[in-house]
Amino acid sequence: MQTILVTGGAGFIGANFILLARRLQWANIVNLDKLTYASNLENLAEVQADKNYNFIQGDIANFELVTYLLEQYHPDAIINFAAESHVDRSIFSPQEFIQTNVVGTFQLLEASRFYWHKLSFEQQKKFRFLHISTDEVYGSLTPQEQAFREDMPYAPNSPYAASKAASDHFVRAYYHTYGLPTLTTNCSNNYGPMQFPEKLIPLIILNAIDSKPLPIYGDGQNIRDWLYVIDHCQAIYLVLKQGKTGETYNIGGMNEQSNVKVVEKICAILDELVPQPNFHYSSLITFVQDRPGHDRRYAINCHKLSHELGWQPQENFDSGLIKTVKWYLNNISWVNQVRSGSYQKWLKQNYENR
């Protein structure tokens, strides 16, 4: 069985990928995670005793540590999930995004390049460096414009998107300059189990069950394409195994929804699952001041991934959203564990004066 070094594996998408990889015996896993605020080892409780899973706390920007891990575990592939990923936080603290997303990716690429050069010819042919990125690097679409394709120019509008765009360019450069066998995926908005509750869907679920206001930026008509996290993980593994090196693959859920529609759907699900007498959760909806530079619409064209590799999402938005709401309702201990004082401080900082 191959070994994969997963970076950022205690975060939302990375943890879901690791759990799926071990359940389905895709690979042995080495997980390198810095354990920032959005990381949570509770996400990986299922594999803590798994002898084919190893966790190391550390930073992808630590060249010496990454070099040691590559020499120690001899991975056949690296999947780079590690990233600062919340747009609102990037507006408050852009330097953290540059350090992790740009400098960190560069150091990871450098260590991978030296490691790859030491491999045998056959091992070099099999090795892959898969970089996980976002649709936000493409900028914003009007309602009439066609969805993002892989050949569209980058036009990032937030510090987060700019930092991911820079990391994408470094990955591309290492393929073209050094021959490092890289792959890049650009995904749309993920949702599902174990997502840190600063993001829209878990924030709304948890505020609603606590009878707190449900904040929606601006007029609520900003549109996102929603991708269920397990569908995303399946696509990532498919790209890793069958994708063509040097290529980029867009991954989307083909589920465009306005923010206000997402919130209304969550409220309707909660009305059914956790009804309260003479009360509808939608009465908690509160429109707040929009964030700076808020992109109007994202949409992903997945034709390349579908046509070349045969991938299709298994969940539509309604089915995935019901699963997601039920997961949060059934995992209140997890919720209480992640909603620490620092999380409450962030909510106050970001929403109190809107």
Which residues in the chain come in under a pLDDT of 70? 341-354
Concerning whether 151 is annotated as a catalytic residue, the answer is no
H/E run at residue 259 = helix 259-273
Q: Which two tokens stand for residue 267?
A: 């409220």
The whole-angstrom separation of Cα 114 and Cα 303 is: 35
Residue of 33, 59, 84, 136 marked catalytic:
136
Per-residue pLDDT, 333: 87
Per-residue pLDDT, 342: 60
Decide if domain 3-192+228-255+297-317 falls under CATH 3.40.50.720: yes
Concerning whether 136 is annotated as a catalytic residue, the answer is yes
The whole-angstrom separation of Cα 98 and Cα 216 is: 27
Residue of 53, 115, 138, 160 marked catalytic:
160
The whole-angstrom separation of Cα 319 and Cα 324 is: 9
Place of tokens 């749309």: 188
Per-residue pLDDT, 336: 87
Residue type (1 letter), 271: D
The answer to whether the CB of 16 falls within 8 A of the CB of 190 is: no
> What SS3 class is residue 295?
coil
Q: What is the pLDDT of residues 182-213, one digit of tens each?
A: 999 999 999 999 998 889 999 999 999 999 99
* DSSP states along 59-97: -TT-HHHHHHHHHHH--SEEEE------HHHHHH-HHHH
Per-residue pLDDT, 192: 98
Concerning whether 110 is annotated as a catalytic residue, the answer is no
Per-residue pLDDT, 90: 84
Residue of 84, 135, 264, 315 marked catalytic:
135
